[in-house]
């Protein structure tokens, strides 16, 4: 098999699947034709390519593209899964802290977000690997909430469905709208603080909780615990009052903002708010709206501070569970 006419390098933090789309457009064909030529008996776009491909297919791709297989593997999400949850098997349906695509044939149900201002400022527009992570809800550079839908037709972001004549990943394949023109809004500072902290833990291999140094795996497990549950949000919290029972891997950026705020409070040893009582609707419906209390309601009492000794005891028990393993 002959190498491609035009070699396309993997850009910093570029996502594997969208690099493949850029490579196809550079060769003058659409992504489906390129993958059909690479792997004739495999419908590549019916799966989540960012979760990685087998060694044989990767070797074929490396040979045709001229890009080292290790560099291509590094653009997938597998190294991140191995770092934050090494005990999770790659075949698991949902990966911790990774947005799920929910593929059905070539169509997606989610999984990809983007910063319109980053795409507009790129000399060569491309999608970042970190935009597939559940703890990423905002752009640190532009302080804006990430988008996950076309600003014109509200379709999901599906770069693999672009046409050859588009010549860019920035066109919505459903309506042709330029994604770089999507309206942006400011991101919650507390959620962005958690995001930056999580990135540092991922990079350094360890984090802290209550002044105690813990491993990267333990930090992300503990953060996942603090981001779970359901709470009633008070008016002075100044966040959206809509909550969903879906896991974070299936939530939109605006929904995950609240989860990350909860996680930040928990990781700082702060009370995260008054728990919402369990109801039948909470478990039966995928989305439940939580309404703010009116001015006629009695003011909510702040959660009492817990003694540090009790918190430390809970932490020690949690560490034991983490070391033994969890179901």
Apex 187 CA angle, 186 and 193, nearest 5: 140
User: How far is residue 172's CA from residue 118's CA, in Å, rounded to a whole number?
Assistant: 16
Query: Which pLDDT belongs to residue 280?
Result: 41
Query: Which pLDDT belongs to residue 326?
Result: 41
Each domain of the chain, given as residue ranges in start order, spans 16-181, 203-294
User: How far is residue 287's CA from residue 271's CA, in Å, rounded to a whole number?
Assistant: 24
Query: Which pLDDT belongs to residue 228?
Result: 82
User: How far is residue 37's CA from residue 1's CA, in Å, rounded to a whole number?
Assistant: 10
Q: Report the chain (327 residues): mean pLDDT per 10 consecutive residues.
A: 90 97 94 95 92 96 97 97 91 88 68 95 97 97 96 92 86 93 97 98 95 95 84 44 67 94 92 47 36 42 56 58 45
Query: Which pLDDT belongs to residue 189?
Result: 97
**Sign of the four-CA dihedral 46, 147, 130, 137:** negative
Number of CB atoms found within 10 A of residue 237's CB: 15
SS3 210: coil
User: How far is residue 246's CA from residue 259's CA, in Å, rounded to a whole number?
Assistant: 11
Give the pairing type, strands 206-209 and 212-215.
antiparallel
User: At how many degrees (to 10) do helices 31-38 and 55-65 cross?
Assistant: 110
Query: Which pLDDT belongs to residue 111?
Result: 76
């Amino acid at each position: 098999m002959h190498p491609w006419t035009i070699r396309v390098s993997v850009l910093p933090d570029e996502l594997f699947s969208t690099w493949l789309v850029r490579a196809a457009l550079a060769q003058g064909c659409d992504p489906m034709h390129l993958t059909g030529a690479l792997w004739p008996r495999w419908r590549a776009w019916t799966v989540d390519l960012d979760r990685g491909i087998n060694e044989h297919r990767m070797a074929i791709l490396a040979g045709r593209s001229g890009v080292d297989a290790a560099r291509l593997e590094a653009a997938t999400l597998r190294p991140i899964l191995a770092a934050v949850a090494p005990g999770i098997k790659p075949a698991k349906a949902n990966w911790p802290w990774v947005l799920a695509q929910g593929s059905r044939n070539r169509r997606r149900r989610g999984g990809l977000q983007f910063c319109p201002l980053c795409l507009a400022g790129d000399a060569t527009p491309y999608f970042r690997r970190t935009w597939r992570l559940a703890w990423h809800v905002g752009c640190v550079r532009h302080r804006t909430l990430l988008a996950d839908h076309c600003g014109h037709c509200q379709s999901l972001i599906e770069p693999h469905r672009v046409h050859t004549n588009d010549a860019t990943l920035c066109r919505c394949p459903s309506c042709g709208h330029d994604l770089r023109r999507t309206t942006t809004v400011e991101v919650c500072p507390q959620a962005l603080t958690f995001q930056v902290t999580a990135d540092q833990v991922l990079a350094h291999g360890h984090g802290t909780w209550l002044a105690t140094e813990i491993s990267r795996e333990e930090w992300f497990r503990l953060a996942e615990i603090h981001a779970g549950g359901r709470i009633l949000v008070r008016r002075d919290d100044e966040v959206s009052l809509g909550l969903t029972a879906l896991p974070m891997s299936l939530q939109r950026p605006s929904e995950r903002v609240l989860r990350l705020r909860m996680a930040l409070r928990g990781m700082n040893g702060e009370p995260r708010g008054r728990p919402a009582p369990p109801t039948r609707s909470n478990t039966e419906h995928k989305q439940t709206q939580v309404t703010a209390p009116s001015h006629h309601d009695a003011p909510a009492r702040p959660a009492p501070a817990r003694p540090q000794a009790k918190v430390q005891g809970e932490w020690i028990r949690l560490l034991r569970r983490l070391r033994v393993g969890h179901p």
